[in-house]
A and B are shown apart, each in its own frame.
Chain A
Amino acid sequence: EDKVVQSPLSLVVHEGDTVTLNCSYEVTNFRSLLWYKQEKKAPTFLFMLTSSGIEKKSGRLSSILDKKELFSILNITATQTGDSAVYLCAVINNFNKFYFGSGTKLNVKP
Chain B
Amino acid sequence: ETGVTQTPRHLVMGMTNKKSLKCEQHLGHNAMYWYKQSAKKPLELMFVYNFKEQTENNSVPSRFSPECPNSSHLFLHLHTLQPEDSALYLCASSQDMQGYGYTFGSGTRLTVV
Contact = CB atoms under 8 A, between A and B. Distances in A.
Contacts of A92: 99
Q: What is the predominant secondary structure among interface residues of chain B facing chain A?
A: loop
Interface residues on B, range: 20 to 34
Given A101-B42, A102-B40, A102-B41, A45 B99 contact: no
Interface stretch (A34-42, A60-68, A77-85): A34-42
Contacts of B59: none
Contacts, number: 43
Nearest to A88: B43
Given A96-B97, A96-B99, A98-B99, A41 B42 contact: no
Interface centre among A4, A34, A45, by most chain B C-beta atoms within 10 angstroms, is A45
Interface centre among A4, A32, A98, by most chain B C-beta atoms within 10 angstroms, is A98
Interface string A66-110: 000000000000000000000010101000111011110000000
Interface of B: 2, 4, 40-45, 48, 56, 88, 90, 97-99, 102-107, 109
